[in-house]
Every structure is written in C-alpha cells, then in structure tokens.
Amino acid sequence: MNKRLTDQPRDLRNGPRSSSGNLLQEIFSDEMPLAVDCLLFNIQQLTLQSSKLQFDSLKFIYTQMLTDTTAGQRQQLLQYIIDQVEAAELDAVSLIPVIRFETKHTITTPAVHAYIRNRRVSFKRPLSATEDLIGLLDAGRVANHGAVISAMACFGDRRICTALRPLRSSISPMEAKAFAAATIPELYECTIEFCLTWLVDLVTKKKFSVAIQIASAISSTIANEPALRVKNLHHNFGPYGFPTADIDASVTLQRALEKFQPIIETLSRAHIPSLDLMIELLRNPTSNSFNQAEQKRRATTRRKNSDRRASDRRIVNLTPLIDRRQSSRRESARRTMKRR
C-alpha cells in the first residue's frame, strides 16, 4: 500500500512548514546554487548513526558552497537550518557539516551553540554534544579549530570549559588568533577562568606567541562589554528538545575578578610587555578604552548638539535685525528713485 502524502519524506528545500525562519527563496532570490541544493538534500539524511564517510563526503559540497555564496547568505542559511532543527524537522547533527567545514567564525560560533543547545542527550551523558565536538577537534576534522574552541569556551558552562582544557596545550599561534577573533562580548565566570589559567600555563611554558592572542581575547571581550557584568550559568541538558539554564545573579566584573587576583598578580610578576595592557584592564576594568571612547563620543555629541542649539538661537535672534536692515535698504532705494 502506498504511503499517504503526509507520510512521505519531506524535501526541506521547499521550505519549512511554519512561517518562522528565512525561506530559501528569500535568501537566494535569483537562483539557488547547486552546492546549496546538494547540501540541503544530504543533511536531511544525517543521523548520529551516519557513517564517517557520509559526513566527510560533504566537504566537497561545502567547499563549493563557500565559492558560490557570500558570508551573509551562509549566515541566513545557517539560521534556516537552526529553525529546522528547533522545529524537529532536522536532527541537530545536520549542523555538523557547518561546524566542520565553515571558515568564518561569525557562522561557526552560532552553529556550535545551536548544536550544544539542541543535541538530544541522556541524563547519564549530559555532555554528549561537547564530547562530539571534542572528538572532532582532537581528530583535526574542523576547518576553523580556534573558532570552535572559542565558541565552546564562550558558551558559559563550566563543565564544557573543563572538558576543553586538555586541548589547550596543542593549539597553534594561528589557531589562537582565530580563538581571539571568535570571542563574543559575553562575560561568563568560567570563560574568564578558562582564559586566565590558560595564560598562566602559556607563560610558564614560554609560549608567548599564543599568550599574546589569549590576552587579546580577554581584553577585547571586556572592552566590548559596556555593562561589565559577569554571569554564571549551569545548563540542564537532557533528553528533550531544548535545555534550560540555572542563572545566578550577575555581578560586576570587579567583584568577579577578586577571586582571580592571585592569577593576575602571577601574570604581572612575569613582566611581559604584551600582557601589560590586559593586566591594567583587569585591575581597573571601568577605565577600559571602550568606555573612554564611548564617553568621548557622548561628550562630542553633546557639544555638537549644544553648538547647534546655540547656532539656532543666534539665527533666531539675528533674523529680525536682518529683516529690519533689508527693509531699511528697500526704503532707501525707493526714496532714491523718487528723487531721481
């Protein structure tokens, strides 16, 4: 007996059932590249039981897609896939090709976060998603190694940061640079601890080229977080479609850094010039360059507005005088014409 139409496998390339998310027609208004069509066809077949070869074969498709699409289009395509995963139209494992083969950290980071959030796990193994990603990193099967580690460290769960620690020793300077570029302006206590303890280890082993990048990551994260509030999360991963998180009350960065003062002093005694800026920032976070620039911008805006208002007042005050002078000139011209 033939299956009913509703029982047939649905082709995701025709768009989601619901109106949420970006439709493919909106992303690719002219014509969908063949590589995108092939990727969408293949990812809907993926499950956790899929063979390694099935994942590896998508590398060639994704490489072609990098050529045929812009970063903006791939960001929209990723959101489309995430919407499908959250609507249970796709398994979370469909995000693995993006995590493995994408080169832009702005796309890799949300893909990693979406995978950790949506990967179905058991209560006995709540960190299955983290184990999957660490397995890929350990095997060297991701294109942007540093960005994937950064995305996991910046997810905000201490257990994930702890699981990542063994991978820190093998990171290269270029991967550390990618790590720094991929950090997001969200301050989590476990992320700060992960980076500071990493820095101590790097300084001890005299891996200064990597240490510079990690210090840059800490500095840029603080400089781009104007609120300077630190969060502490604990995600309740389980065998359901979404996780929840226990969120402690956020604290100021200065208060959060009190427990890390011994580490900061240890780094300070190393007398490494490239770390001085970060150390100064950690000792006095409210004086960071971002806040100074923001204050300068606001002061400049207020001055311009004040100058504009003063200029408007001068114009208003001068208008009657100008009108009187023009009227006087016209009257003088009429008298002159009469005398002639």
What digits encode the pLDDT tens for the residues 191-244?
999 999 999 999 999 999 999 999 999 998 998 888 889 998 888 887 765 667
Q: Give residue 185's pLDDT.
A: 87
Cα separations (Å) of 285 from 57, 144, 217, 246?
47, 30, 15, 27
Token couple for 191: 């992320």
Q: What percent of the chain clears pLDDT 70, i.e. is strictly above it? A: 80
Q: Calculate the CA dihedral of residues 197, 127, 225, 282 and round it to 10 degrees.
A: -10
Averaged confidence pLDDT in the chain: 84
Token couple for 19: 């109106």
| pTM of this structure | 0.79
Q: Give the mean pLDDT of 61-81.
A: 96
Q: Give residue 340's pLDDT.
A: 60
Which DSSP string do the residues of 276-314 spell out, in sequence order? Answer: HHHHHHHH-GGG-HHHHHHHHHHHHHHHHHHHHHHHHHH
Q: Give residue 315's pLDDT.
A: 58
Position 146 pLDDT exceeds 70: yes
φ, ψ at 266 (rounded to 5°)? -60, -45
Q: Which helix (DSSP H) or strand (DSSP E) does residue 244 occupy?
A: strand 244-247
Q: Give residue 322's pLDDT.
A: 66
Q: Give residue 6's pLDDT.
A: 37
Q: Give the mean pLDDT of 252-277.
A: 90
